[in-house]
Every structure is written in C-alpha cells, then in structure tokens.
Amino acid sequence: MKKVALITGGSRGIGLGIASQLLKDGFAVAINGVRHFEMVAGTIEALKNAGGEVMYCRGDISVAADRHQVIEAVKNAFGRLHVLVNNAGIAPKERKDILEASEESFTTLMATNLQGPYFLTQAVANWMIDQQKKDDSFTGSIINISSISSTVASVNRGEYCIAKAGLSMATKLFATRLGEYNIPVYEVCPGIIRTDMTAGVTEKYDKLISGGLTLQQRWGEPSDVGKAVSALALGYFPYSSGQVFMVDGGMTVPRL
C-alpha cells in the first residue's frame, strides 16, 4: 500500500515540482489548491497519465472550515496520511517598502503563509498520532516549505519575510512537540526558483545570478526542491528533525 502525501499549493510552481517527484518515488498524492478543478484538470490528468495515484482537494488553507474539508477529503480518498508538505504561499499583491506597506496586505499574507500552515499542521499532527496509536508500523513526517526570506531581509516585501520567519519557528515548535512520537518536522528553504511567482523579476535575477549572487550560477527549478522534499519524505534523514535544508544554489553562504 502506497504512502500518502498531501501537498498544499501543489498544482503549480514549487508545489507541482514536489508532487511530481513524490509520485515518481512511489507516493500517492493529494494536491490542494484554491483554484476550481476545471482550472487544474489538465495538470491532474497529466500526472495520472504518468502513472500517478493523485487526487485534487480544493480549499483555502487560511480558512478553518476549508482546512477541515481538505483533511476529510484525504481521509475519504485514502484513509491515511504519512506526509504533509506545507507549500502553499502567496506574495504581496504589490511589493511596497515597509514604510508604506498596508496592514491589509500583512494580514492576508499571515493568514495564508503562517496561520494556515500552523493550524493545518496541528490537525494533521493529531491525525498522525492517532494513526500511530492504531498501527505501530506507521511513520509520518511534516515538511514546511519556507524560504531564504525567513532570514534574508527584503524591505519591499516585509510581510512575506516575517511570515516565513514565523514558519521557521513553527517547524522548531512542532519538531519539539512531536519528538516523543518520532514524527520528524523539517524546513526546506528554496532560494531563487523559476516559477510563475518569480516570472515578473526574471530580468533582475538573471543579472544578479550572472553577477555571482549564487554559487551555482543558474536559477533553481521546482524539481530541485522536489528532490530535496522527497528525500525527507522517504525517510533518508530520520535523525534530523527540526533542521533546515537549503535549496538555494549556495546563495546564503557567507562570503568575503
């Protein structure tokens, strides 16, 4: 019986890279997103045609009722869940200096990028504990997709940085709490990844990368993140709960 992974924001970008890799590595996958099924049907069909066991469960993780609905959909479809990947996240609608950014933007980003994953993790963790009590062989893990922005300041999107920094602490908190159940919690920090979210700043980062911003002089791809997440989900780092895994091409290596 295949292990099941739930990936929030899994129908495009980094999330799709993660879902694709987990499917290749033998997981059944539940993909969550906010778009209507008709808008993601082609992606889901392509994953199925590649031999994957995949379902789509629509829901906004910033909304408590939707989080419950997503979990129930996974329970009804698979009856089990071994891996939660908290990937869903949004960028500010407008990148504004922190001296001008709106409280509305701050509230919106916190709800989706921090509050949603925090309470989804709470619910899934309790379900994993229950599964473990019923089955001694059960193994689970939780993987938070953070960002280099959790430690690297960008004053024109401060709300995003603060949300990711909060998610970093949430990783440590849940890793600490779930240690007694041997359910590891990890943080993966992507750097500059080629997605629709970064499409608008392609020219800017092309110049920065060619100028030495990263040690490996190329953009990161969703598949780079997918491989890192899959290694964690497969249990290749069983004694590393609470740790941060950088997928940034060496961008955050201190240099003189």
Catalytic residues: 160
The three-state secondary structure class of 187 is strand
Closest CA to 55 of 76, 72, 81, 30: 30
- Whether the CB-CB separation of 171 and 191 falls below 8 Å is answered with no
Q: How far apart are CA 168 and CA 113, in angstroms?
A: 11
Q: What are the residues facing 145 on neighbouring strands?
A: 188
| Segments in the chain forming alpha helices (H) | 13-24, 37-49, 64-78, 103-110, 116-134, 158-177, 202-210, 222-233
- Whether the CB-CB separation of 11 and 38 falls below 8 Å is answered with no
Give Cα separations from 165 to 152, 154, 231, 241, 250 (angstroms): 10, 12, 23, 18, 19
- Whether the CB-CB separation of 17 and 85 falls below 8 Å is answered with no
